[in-house]
Structure 1
Amino acid sequence: MSGAWEWLPWRRLRAHGIMGMNERNGDFILRYNPRPNFPLVDDKQKTKAIALAAGIPVPDLYGVVEIEHQIEELRLQLSPHDDFVVKPAHGSGGEGVLVITGRVNDAYRRASGSVASEEELGHHISNILSGMYSLGGMPDCALIEYRVKFDPIFTDISYLGVPDIRTIVFRGIPVMAMLRLPTRASDGKANLHQGAIGVGIDLATGRTFSGVWHDSLVGEHPDTGGEIEGVQIPHWEDILALTARCHDLVGLGYLGVDIVLDGELGPLMLEMNARPGLAIQLANRTGLLKRLRTVEGLRAVPEALGERVALAKALCR
């Protein structure tokens, strides 16, 4: 990790609680995430069904394509919808996600502004079914769902795509969060490894810090020029409570939860991750380890969401 950490000598990283991949895997994922529960988050269709059953808001599911023959029925299936998102049920890192923002005659307009024919849409879905974007390359199915229209507060700090909020939840308590902002380099996707910006969030207030882009600190969005620091995330209390509830659904002690903010519907749970990455430490310019060990040392975690949210806020003080 260079660039954003240049102000911090390597020998001091440990003192600042920076957690590495091996420690994450051995001390938290292996210890707190039962392997049989992984399919509950690795399969987005299962995740959505579990969330709906629990009353957790998610983007509406318009349809599922499981076999090649169903691609022929897409025109009729999608006729009520001018815009939608196509994604692999077992995808990761934003791979294979296609965002359609409108129609142009018999074709579909992508978020980038380019146009995809019905044949190209079908070909993309066929690639999803083949397992091109799935974990392990196994055959997959394609989900077609509601396209989130992000909250207006993000208009000046996002490029094309929808920002999301990634929160690490440990033992049912949110311990760190970041806002992920799409850029031109990320092709409108909110994934850091594809070029999105990671922006730390103060758990206590829901206000953003400066951001990290390609391992460099940034205060403005490189494409829009909008100020990244000091943005107050709407519905912050609800977001923290929502992420805490997600832990209860899937029985994973160490969990990443992605929330999107729709301009009309408010917070929606997009997906969960049993192996959330560590770049969130870069975005917040602080380590996860101290907060994780603090929560690990609790004799019991409160059942009440309000108490868990209060504990989350206290972690960053």
Structure 2
Amino acid sequence: MSEMLMDFGKMFGRRKQKAPLSPLTMTPFEEILGINMRNALIAKYNPRIAIERARDKVAAKVALEAAGIACTGTVAVIDDHQKLNAFKPTRDMPDSWAIKPARGSQGDGILLAVRREGDVWYKGSGTPLTEQDVMHHIQKVVDGGFSGDTASEDAALIEPLIIADPTLADLVPEGLPDLRVICLHDEPLMAMLRLPTNESDGKANLHQRAIGAGISLETGRIIRALVLGEPITHHPDTGAKLIGYEVPGWDRVLELASKCGPAIGLGYSGSDIVLDKNEGPLIIEVNAHPGIEIQNICQLGLKAQMAAVGEDFR
């Protein structure tokens, strides 16, 4: 295990090292960030008000845009029944769009339309969506049906549908790939690309058999890719080669990710980024409780990466 971690440490590189790992000598096991230590870091660096701001997609977008950070666009925000009653999808919505609960999580409650014919929209699967279907879904969002907590109401965030950068779109059979970049303050620590598969139903969800691909911070290239823990070199559906693929606009990706935590008030954050065909890298969400599975994808320890940028674990 020691040799394996050493090899991947060389391959991925550590960006802008500010300090030695630590005055303490870390074993390979000690380089790994466990869930208890992650929770301690969140308690240390993420104030409750900032966590709530990050969780609310509308509030987070307001904070990010105020800081000049490029985000996905906004068609409408419907946060009460008065706005809901005044809203008319056939008049107010574009041909392709995404509806997201402001306080939803893990993709729950997200509805996508990829095209429109007359007064009917169609999902990627070809399922039609009438104006009544759309209104029913928005009402369920506003009523808190996807908020995941005891909140009685939520807000429906309606955005233009992202069109993936062509080089990324060529890798996957359908769906929208995204990037997750973990940062401590303004320092990117680790990054992965999440690629949909047929088995993941076009969603970039690792637990539903999407691909997790570790990316070198220094080069922006994929070094390692896995599906449910099994290493792969090519996409199982498209046959596209993954290892060595270079993410477009990588420097811009890291620049955006480094600004997100400070803009929202988080010291430890996970930024989710999409690569739009026309706009380039855009922030879709900032997570105040980023998971630790990324360490298995990248085969690196987050604790060691934090120590490399100055965090003292003594």
Same fold (TM over 0.5): yes
2:94 is the counterpart of 1:103: no
Which is worse superposed, 220-229 or 236-245? 220-229
Cα distance change on mapping 1:118 and 1:76 into 2, 3 Å: closer
**Paired residue type of 2:193:** L
1:122 equivalent among 117, 126, 135: 135
Matches of 1:90 and 1:64 in 2, distance apart? Answer: 13
- Of structures 1 and 2, the one with the larger relative CO (CA 8 A, separation 6+) is 2
Does the 8 Å contact 1:159/1:181 carry over to 2? no
2:248 is the counterpart of 1:234: yes
Matches of 2:126 and 2:242 in 1, distance apart? Answer: 25
Matches of 1:232 and 1:50 in 2, distance apart? Answer: 30
The alignment of Structure 1 onto Structure 2 pairs a total of residues equal to 286
Does the 8 Å contact 2:212/2:225 carry over to 1? yes
Does the 8 Å contact 1:112/1:160 carry over to 2? no
2:60 is the counterpart of 1:47: yes
Shift of 1:44: 0.7
TM-score (norm 2): 0.85
Matches of 1:124 and 1:216 in 2, distance apart? Answer: 37
Matches of 1:50 and 1:111 in 2, distance apart? Answer: 31
Shift of 1:16: 6.6
Shift of 1:67: 3.0
Structure 2 counterparts to residues 162-201 of structure 1, below 5 A: 162-201=176-215
Report Cα offsets for 1:170-229 as digits up to 9, x if no partner: 021000000011122322222223332110000010001231212221222222221111
**Paired residue type of 1:133:** F
Matches of 1:199 and 1:99 in 2, distance apart? Answer: 25
Cα distance change on mapping 1:116 and 1:269 into 2, 3 Å: same
Cα distance change on mapping 1:71 and 1:77 into 2, 3 Å: farther
Report Cα offsets for 1:106-145 as digits up to 9, x if no partner: 2211122222222222222222223222241522111101
Cα distance change on mapping 1:69 and 1:222 into 2, 3 Å: farther
Matches of 2:243 and 2:88 in 1, distance apart? Answer: 43
Shift of 1:66: 1.9
Report SS of the residue matched to 1:136. coil
2:79 is the counterpart of 1:66: yes
1:286 alignment counterpart: 300
Identical columns (%): 39
Shift of 1:236: 0.8
Structure 1: gaps spanning 5 or more residues: 6-12, 299-317
Which is worse superposed, 165-174 or 102-111? 102-111
Does the 8 Å contact 1:109/1:115 carry over to 2? yes
Cα distance change on mapping 1:70 and 1:185 into 2, 3 Å: farther
TM-score (norm 1): 0.84
Does the 8 Å contact 1:52/1:58 carry over to 2? yes
Which is worse superposed, 210-219 or 227-236? 210-219
Matches of 1:209 and 1:133 in 2, distance apart? Answer: 36
Report SS of the residue matched to 2:199. coil
Does the 8 Å contact 1:156/1:225 carry over to 2? no
Cα distance change on mapping 1:201 and 1:94 into 2, 3 Å: same
Report Cα offsets for 1:145-189 as digits up to 9, x if no partner: 111111111123223211111000002100000001112232222
Report SS of the residue matched to 2:114. strand
Structure 2: gaps spanning 5 or more residues: 6-26
2:34 alignment counterpart: 20
Give me the CA root mean square deviation: 2.1
